[in-house]
Amino acid sequence: MAIDRITGGRPLFGTVEVQGAKNSVLPILAATVLARGECVLRRCPDLSDVRASAAILRQLGAKVHREGDTLTVDASCLTGSEVSDQLMREMRSSVIFLGGILARQGEAVMSFPGGCELGPRPIDLHLKALRALGAYIQEEGGALVCSAPALTGCEITLALPSVGATENIMLAATAAKGTTLIVGAAREPEIIDLQNFLNAMGAQVRGAGSSVIAIEGGRPLHGVEYTVMPDRIVAATWMCAAAAAGGDVELCGVDYRQLSTVSAALTEAGCTVTSTAERVRIQSAGHLGGARMVRTAPYPGFPTDAQAPVMAALAKGCGVTVFVENMFEARYRHVDELVRMGADIRVEGRVAVVTGVPRLSGAKLMCTDLRGGAALLVAALSADGESILEGLHHLDRGYERPEETLRALGAQVERIEES
């Protein structure tokens, strides 16, 4: 078991090169099953979720090889169409493989992703859409047994702009005859990255970034070299760390427009955020006010994934912020841990009221989920004294060597492997 030992109270200074985006690379890895050739993915972060995707690809018969931050996937010869229960449990978002495997193999078997740390995570929209394209899907004792001898393009209206459902449809539709229209599609930047990747492979996808996406299916897809977009949530997390601990940090390679809602909240709280095309700089005195209201919403609204780190940054300060979590039911699990550090946070259903306190105290903390863990890291950096962070496997799903990044900025953080 590993723990992080963090001594808080040191301001952060310096420049960070932001890692590739987890939420972009996972659907891109699922899309590599469509290529009859080698895909070379650059800026591919080494995360446990990426390793789980690589394990799924190997299970399907693909060859996967990592060298530095480049991952090579050769799915020319796929032999399987089944994802094991163990890998489905390890990473619930492995359901994004469903559309790709169906498109390539005409059949797929995987277990149903049940509830998870964020609350129930239904996939009804994924299944309804794949059925509309012509897939037969049986739900048997927790397993999904799917076959699709032929897929045919059609118009699919999503009741909610689900990111995963949009991605699953995009992948399946590349093999469908004719045109598929996704109406009410998710507009997240990671969907644009997936469109760019598919088009580089020879697909014809238009409209990503808007709420209507059109896919002309049936084209042969080939291998490609591609650079994954930078991770806007990781960037937001480092912004929160600098906001909370104080200092002056510049993030490189990020698109400031993707960070505008997070920047607005931190600016409201008293930070100075300046940006050029591919750089965002945050300066903070470490004494924050409140940000009034933070309401999570689908992109371009405030990202649910940044809610916990921003809450941690605003827990120490002198203002009040009202958070409204509109995306997931169980996304305040970090609150109890922040309260143990001395934070004043009251939760009622979807609403959390954060009243800044003059100081947080270091404590023994447990990561509850990926972004909740990031929030605890942020809080520990601004707290007085030492914190011990456990449950790092959550953090490792989305952050590549976070201790190294923070140490390079002047933080006192070390990972200790305990036997």
- Taking a C-beta distance cutoff of 8 angstroms, is the pair 255, 213 a contact? no
Binding piece for ligand UD1, criterion CB under 6 A, among 79-87, 162-170, 204-212, 410-418? 162-170
Query: Does residue 125 bind ligand UD1 (CB under 6 A)?
Result: yes
Site string for ligand UD1, 243-282 (x = CB under 6 A): ----------------------------------------
Minimal distance, residue 160 CB to ligand UD1, in Å: 5
| Residue of minimal Cβ distance to ligand UD1 | 164
Query: Does residue 160 bind ligand UD1 (CB under 6 A)?
Result: yes
For residues 97 and 171, give the distance between their C-alpha atoms in angstroms, rounded to a whole number: 9
Minimal distance, residue 191 CB to ligand UD1, in Å: 9
Minimal distance, residue 70 CB to ligand UD1, in Å: 21
Give the distance from CA 131 to its chain's centroid. 26
Query: Does residue 121 bind ligand UD1 (CB under 6 A)?
Result: yes
Q: Whose Cβ is closer to ligand UD1: residue 91's or residue 288's?
A: 91
Query: Does residue 304 bind ligand UD1 (CB under 6 A)?
Result: yes
By CB under 6 A, name the one of 32, 53, 94, 162 that touches ligand UD1. 162
Query: Does residue 99 bind ligand UD1 (CB under 6 A)?
Result: no
Q: Whose Cβ is closer to ligand UD1: residue 284's or residue 304's?
A: 304
Site string for ligand UD1, 335-354 (x = CB under 6 A): --------------------
By CB under 6 A, name the one of 17, 124, 139, 404 that touches ligand UD1. 124
**Residues 171-190 interacting with ligand UD1 (rule: CB under 6 A):** 186
- Taking a C-beta distance cutoff of 8 angstroms, is the pair 360, 342 a contact? yes
By CB under 6 A, name the one of 80, 122, 300, 385 that touches ligand UD1. 122
Minimal distance, residue 57 CB to ligand UD1, in Å: 16
403: three-class secondary structure by DSSP:
helix
Q: Which alpha helices (H) appear in 60-115, and where do they start and end?
A: 85-90, 97-105
- Taking a C-beta distance cutoff of 8 angstroms, is the pair 312, 378 a contact? yes
Query: Does residue 19 bind ligand UD1 (CB under 6 A)?
Result: no
- Taking a C-beta distance cutoff of 8 angstroms, is the pair 125, 98 a contact? no
Q: Whose Cβ is closer to ligand UD1: residue 21's or residue 205's?
A: 21
65, 59, 63, 96: which is closest to 77 by C-alpha?
63
Whether 116 is a known active-site residue: answer yes
CA dihedral 367, 415, 377, 68 (to 10 degrees): -100
Give the distance from CA 209 to its chain's centroid. 17
Helix (H) or strand (E) holding 30: helix 22-31
Whole-angstrom CA distances from 303 to 71, 265, 319, 405, 415 are 28, 12, 21, 22, 28
Q: How many residues bind ligand UD1 (CB under 6 A)?
A: 19
Query: Does residue 93 bind ligand UD1 (CB under 6 A)?
Result: yes
Peptide bond into 230 cis (omega under 30): no
Task: Please tell me which residue in 39, 44, 77, 116 is annotated as part of the active site.
Answer: 116
Minimal distance, residue 169 CB to ligand UD1, in Å: 11
Whole-angstrom CA distances from 151 to 172, 195, 263, 318, 341 are 8, 19, 43, 57, 54
Helix (H) or strand (E) holding 380: helix 370-382
**Active site members:** 116
Residues that bind ligand UD1 in the complex, under the rule CB under 6 A: 23, 26, 93, 121-126, 160, 162-165, 186, 304-305, 327-328
